[in-house]
Amino acid sequence: MPLPQTEAPGRLVAELLSRGVRMTRQRRTILSVIETASQHLDAAQILRRARKLDPGIDRVTVYRTIRLLKRHGLVDELDLLHLEGEKHYYERHPQRDHLHMACVRCGKILEFESDLFERLKGQIQRDCQFHILVTRVEIGGYCAKCRGNSTDLRSV
Amino acid sequence: MPLPQTEAPGRLVAELLSRGVRMTRQRRTILSVIETASQHLDAAQILRRARKLDPGIDRVTVYRTIRLLKRHGLVDELDLLHLEGEKHYYERHPQRDHLHMACVRCGKILEFESDLFERLKGQIQRDCQFHILVTRVEIGGYCAKCRGNSTDLRSV
DNA sequence: GCGTAATTGCAACGCTGTTGCAACTTCTGA
DNA sequence: TCAGAAGTTGCAACAGCGTTGCAATTACGC
Ligand SMILES: [Mn+2]
Ligand SMILES: [Mn+2]
Ligand SMILES: [Zn+2]
Ligand SMILES: [Zn+2]
């Protein structure tokens, strides 16, 4: 399920440089992996892909770069209901929020944008006096294909 | 922030018994801890509280009981944006879903129910043909008190 | 180019959660 | 009521994800 390619490549590098963050060879590589990914990637996947481009990169550097990007609000973290293990997944922080649906049977991840969700955020900011920085909506259930199938692998 | 006490105590025991699950001394203890909690508890907190009632209980039993409850859809898992460590938190699966707001500055957790969210779920089930079993909404930002305060501890 | 401050890689570590297994407990049904 | 099968427990060892300390290396403003 390819995600929409909403951002020009190199955007993460530019964004970090504009904030005075030093740019190393390793960071450029890791950023390009995250930026060009068509799915949500976990740290191990990011490492594998980064090593194809620059074999010396260490997993510690991947973790530190992810933390850097989170601190700057440039990537979002998901756990996709931890349907497989305790991994976390990363994606570019999108212009507009989207929700994640995870099929507990086949593992497929769907994404969904909704005006109703934008209104919900507005309601929260107003009613709770809460200033929203980041949102994370993960919904578990059965996708269209698996709906109706009987074998229940549910573990959430 | 005390959660609403929506269920009678002993409900989890009854629910599991009615599904043919064996009831042990250890399980009763762990279930009562989860059932009477006024906040979201992580596994280590559940273990500590359970040991006050029955010192022999092992952490493995806590983890196995949590997994049992998740499998039966009787507790929900949260990570509250992993604002502190990689812990996961547990709460009784509520009658009606609610959202979680986590203040990235003071760590306070707010809960919020909303008809808008119920409508959003309806939209998802219709538009995506997705049958919802569980939802998890975690929103990070500044609570009313911390809004306006300057020191930014943001790490999400 | 120089110097300082940031970043990297490596090794060791910490913490959350899982697994294998023998001893024990629950619960059924005779 | 109690014997036996099936399920559960505690212990120890393990696995995986993520972090930390530190010396060597690199970026970048001057
Ligand atoms: Mn996404
Ligand atoms: Mn998580
Ligand atoms: Zn499916
Ligand atoms: Zn706050």
Domain of A43, in residue numbers: 1-95
CB contact under 8 Å between A130 and B142, yes or no, is yes
**Which one of the ligands is nearest to B83 CA?**
2
Does this model's pTM top 0.85? My answer is: yes
Within 10 A of A67 (CB to CB), how many other CB atoms are there?
12
Residue with tokens 């999108």: A94
Q: Are A133 and B138 in contact (CB under 8 A)?
A: no
Lowest mean pLDDT among A1-5, A61-65, A75-79: A1-5
Q: Which helix (H) or strand (E) holds A125?
A: helix A115-127
Q: Are residues B68 and B48 in the same domain?
A: yes
Q: Is B123 left (phi over 0), alpha (psi -120 to 50) or beta?
A: alpha
- Do A3 and A52 lie in one domain? The reply is yes
Residues B90 and B104 in one domain: no
CA-nearest of B53, B21, B20 to B35 is B53
Between the CA of A41 and the C1' of D11, what is the distance in angstroms? 36
- B39/B46 Cα distance (integer angstroms): 11
**pLDDT above 50: residue A2:** no
Residue nearest to nucleotide C5 (CA to C1'): A22
Which CATH number do you get for residue A14?
A: 1.10.10.10
Cβ–Cβ gap B116/A134 under 8 Å: no
Taking residues A8-17, report their average pLDDT: 87
B29 in Cβ contact with B50 (< 8 Å): yes
Identity of the residue numbered A46 = I
Q: Are A52 and A89 members of one domain? A: yes
Which tens digit of pLDDT belongs to each residue from B4-32?
444 445 899 999 999 999 999 999 999 99
Could you tell me if A55 and A117 lie in one domain?
A: no
Claim to verify: residue B103 and residue B79 sit in the same structural domain: no
SS3 B93: coil
Task: Name the least confident of A1-5, A17-21, A51-55.
Answer: A1-5
Please state, in angstroms and rounded to a whole number, the distance separating the CA atoms of residues B49 and A129. Answer: 34
Q: Tell me which nucleotides of strand D come within 7 A of a protein CB.
A: 7-13, 16-21, 26-28
